[in-house]
Amino acid sequence: MKTVMKSAKARSLRQTTVASAMALTVSTALSVTADLSAAEVLGARAARHDGHTRLVIDLSQRTTYTIRSEDGQVKVALADDVVVPQKLKTTISAGIVTNVRAEDGSTLALDLMAPATVMRSYILPASQAGHAPHRLVVDLAAAPQPLQFAAVAQANDATMLNTMSDTTVQYSDDTAGGGDWGDSSGSVFDGFNIDGYAEIEGRIFSQGSQEPVPPSRPKRQTLSFAIEPSFSYTWDDGRSLLAFTPFMRFDSNDDDRTHFDVRELKWVGAFDALEVRVGVDKLFWGVTESQHIVDIINQDDGLEDVDGEDKLGQPLVGLSYETGVGTFSVYAMTYFRERRFAGPKGRPRGPLPIDYRQTQYEAGSDKWHVDLAARWSHIFGPIDIAVSHFRGTSRDPVLIQGLNAVGDPVLIPRYNLIDQTGIELQGTFGPVLLKAEGIRKAQPGENQYAGIAGFEYTIYGLGGGSSDLGILAEYLWDNRTKPIDNPFEDDLFVALRWTANDVSDTTLLGGAILDLDTKQKFILIEASRRLGDHWKLSVDTRLFVSVPTNDPLFFYRDDDFVQIKLQRFF
Amino acid sequence: MTIPATQKTTPAAPKTVKFPDAPDAKGLAIATEADRRDQGFKDSESQISMVLRNAQGQESRRGLRIRILEVPESDGGDKSLVVFDAPRDIAGTALLSFAKGIEPDDQWLYLPDLGRVKRISGSNRSGPFMGSEFAYEDLAAPELIKYSYTYVGQEACGDLTCYMIERRPQYKDSGYKRQIVWLDTEHFRPAKVDFYDRRDELMKTLVYTDYKLYGTFWRAHSMVMTNKRTGKSTALLISTYRFDSGFKDADFSTGTLKRIR
């Protein structure tokens, strides 16, 4: 829902005071005295205007009038000496007035489709150039009704074009406030906004877990709930934003998976070419689909899905400056976010529990170390390119084997200081997108080089229908010979994505990441569709197939699962 | 900005205007006049709701806000920013488009879930917009250079008279072979458009109603597209128009995409 606030700087169309709407069951009288004498009614027109009906009575001269409304009938009584022709020339286009009839003497009776209220009435003087005569304008409104779709759809004879020019001239002759220049209450992009969703997520594992944990193994069904509302306030024509987005998941099996995070708590302000942001934020860098290797600012929320696309909020300060030779951005981050992993009762998870109490940081200031990042991005016609550099605490932990306080084997996360340079490249050529990402990560021990390159080709209007089929393929490469924390060192990703483009946005995705060395296959099948206006159902399948013992995904080999997610958006 | 009182009404078609006689030249001249009358609004914003209706009468709603920057074609072409409001699962998704004459638009899509700006292909012109009966090409900026024009005739439309112009897309990936446009002779506003598919069969009809004058620019508040074959229809209803707010290129950048809510 969105509440549009009147902008303080609104250009107000100064309007003359408008008579308030009149109640209808009691006979009421509205009269205006003017100064002139005998007039003749030249004609009457009625049309729909701005959600109500506008009746315009053309007169040869100004006159006085009284409008009476009684029991659903509306009568316009003109001054006694006004001549009303017997055969009144009327043009009724649409709206609540069905006919205008001359009635004894100088009264016009309006036949109405439904009970109507008189919103306002006034006399418009003849235009100086002589195009329009004196006019008596009466605005009538019906009782509030839902949008009459049928009525709108019937207007297929262009009958509504009936000389709207007269009926839309602002009746105020005020020149200082400008003409009828549209809504003056501020940008449609400004105001308060509330977004977000609540969801219920269930996972069903096809096999029993390989990892026994006293007193029992992790279950084969899990259930969790999550909520992520988002509150924002935008002003200055969309140039300033305040946003707050908390996130909470409650897992019924795994206490470690129950977690709360502030995804966003920030102010962003744009001042011409300069943009400033302060607070907890999420910034995504990348162009590929299967893995995002350049993306570094935010820590993975390892407790969410296994695809690495959910992120923890990162406190930062950033500046971005747009020039003709690209956008230059710099960021400073602190309060490092640790990556969390599924606990003993969770699935999928690794073989040993993680002991966060022993987490090590290469940086002396631990999580308060100030990490720095810079990025340049530019668009050359169909090419989007970005080059980035990060210096600070690595978001990826090295997991070291150790012992906990009671002597059980555990894994201890260690976060080293690194320098990572990244490049992103995309070429957009009609239905073909070519993408590539590459990184060089300087770290204690072996420097890492990794790359990913691929394409996305979309067939629009499959088989002459309205659905699309996307074909995706990417090759992933990593130079590390012991890919303990990265299973994708010589892998091929292929996928088909089918979007129905129907009212419910039905989408199907089937893909696999094939390890060209170990012959391991990671298969994903995803389907989603909207239910009604507010609900969305997603079913995701993740299969770990033919996982040999030397593959880091070995610990997940029996963790095939189907995830069913039902989300309610607000 | 204020509009001096002398400019409150549309400049009327010059009484002595004579369009050339040859159908192609006349069609182009009329289309050019219609295009000329739409120039100079600088920028605009509107709030739009769409009602999708299938043949059984079931309805589905879409909501969006759009901001347009008028840019002369010599400098690149119009820029537009669309933010989707409804259905709520796509709320916050935004699309930035740079028109490129006959070439497909440059487009960037913002996915709020990931915070990702993704450059997408602008060549999907005939695909349905938000599952409605409007295709992307139906909603794109109607630049003169996109079509070739032929004058077909003149007929009454309601209380006015309309020129009938046949136009043929000159750009690739169109779903249409040709269209017939009814433009009223007084203000050159489109009243109706008939769309013919690639097999030259009547496919859809678009009706414009509820015109309102903003300064010198006419804007329709209702556009109803009816699919003649399936009986489905989409009503596009504009509730708010706002012009000349002083937007610049910086307000149409990928940075803006990420800020918009």
**Token reading at B123:** 């060549």
List Cα–Cα distances, A434 to A276, A483, A498, B119, in angstroms.
Answer: 31, 27, 19, 11
In chain B, whose CA is at the least distance from the CA of A187? Answer: B45
Q: For residue A154, is it left (φ>0), alpha (ψ between -120 and 50) or beta? A: alpha
Query: Smallest Cα–Cα separation from B202: which of B167, B226, B172?
Result: B226
Which chain A positions have a beta carbon within 8 Å of B101's beta carbon?
A: none
Q: Angle at the Cα of A46 (from A44 to A49), degrees rounded to 5?
A: 145
Do residues A363 and A417 make contact, with C-beta atoms less than 8 angstroms apart?
A: yes
**Token reading at A42:** 């030249």
ipTM of predicted assembly, 2 dp: 0.89
Residue A408, phi then psi, degrees to nearest 5: -80, 145
Q: Which amino acid is at A553?
A: L
A156-170, A455-469, B14-28, range with the lowest pLDDT: A156-170
pLDDT digits (tens, 9 = 90+) for B161-185: 999 999 999 999 999 999 999 999 9
Query: Smallest Cα–Cα separation from A414: which of A393, A392, A399?
Result: A399
Q: Do B8 and A93 touch (CB under 8 A)?
A: no
Query: Smallest Cα–Cα separation from A543: which of A552, A530, A556?
Result: A556
Pairing between β-strand A314-323 and β-strand A274-281 as defined by DSSP bridges: antiparallel
Query: Smallest Cα–Cα separation from A27: which of A73, A80, A60?
Result: A73
Q: Do A91 and B173 touch (CB under 8 A)?
A: no
* Burial label, B209 (beta-carbon count in 10 A; 0-12, 13-18, 19+): buried
In chain A, whose CA is at the least distance from the CA of B92? Answer: A195
CA B153 distance to own-chain centroid: 23
> Could you tell me where the beta strands, DSSP code E, fall in A65-115?
65-70, 73-78, 90-92, 97-103, 107-112
Distant-in-sequence, close-in-space partners of B161: CB < 8 Å, separation ≥ 6: B154, B155, B184, B185, B186
In the structure, what pLDDT confidence band is assigned to residue A22 with cuts at 50, 70 and 90? very low
Which chain A positions have a beta carbon within 8 Å of B247's beta carbon?
A: 237
**Token reading at B129:** 């917009």
User: In 10 A of CB A196, how many CB atoms?
Assistant: 19
pLDDT digits (tens, 9 = 90+) for A164-192: 233 333 332 222 223 335 555 678 889 99
**Partner-chain residue, chosen from B120, B207, B213, that has the shortest CB–CB distance to A168:** B213
Pairing between β-strand A409-415 and β-strand A360-361 as defined by DSSP bridges: parallel
**CB-facing half-sphere around the CA of A549: CA atoms within 13 A:** 0
In SS3 terms, A533-555 reads as CCEEEEEEEEEEECCCCCCHHHH
Rounded average pLDDT over A154-159: 28
pLDDT digits (tens, 9 = 90+) for B77-125: 899 999 999 999 999 999 999 999 899 999 999 999 999 999 999 999 9
CA B235 distance to own-chain centroid: 14
Rounded average pLDDT over A383-387: 98
Do residues B133 and B232 make contact, with C-beta atoms less than 8 angstroms apart?
A: yes
Does A146 score more than 50 pLDDT? no
In the structure, what pLDDT confidence band is assigned to residue A433 with cuts at 50, 70 and 90? very high
Interface membership of A234 toward B (CB under 8 Å): yes
In the structure, what pLDDT confidence band is assigned to residue A93 with cuts at 50, 70 and 90? confident
The C-alpha atoms of residue A347 and residue A223 are separated, in whole angstroms, by 11
| A 133-172 near B (Cβ less than 8 A) | 147, 149, 152-153, 155-165, 168-170
Q: Which amino acid is at B49?
A: S
Q: Do B259 and A91 touch (CB under 8 A)?
A: no
**Token reading at B130:** 């938000």
Q: Do A460 and B67 touch (CB under 8 A)?
A: no
Task: Give the global pTM.
Answer: 0.76
Residue position matching structure tokens 């027109």 = A45
Instruction: For A170-197, give the DSSP string.
Output: -S----TT-SS-B--S--TT-EEEEEEE
Does B14 score more than 50 pLDDT? no
The C-alpha atoms of residue B51 and residue A365 are separated, in whole angstroms, by 57
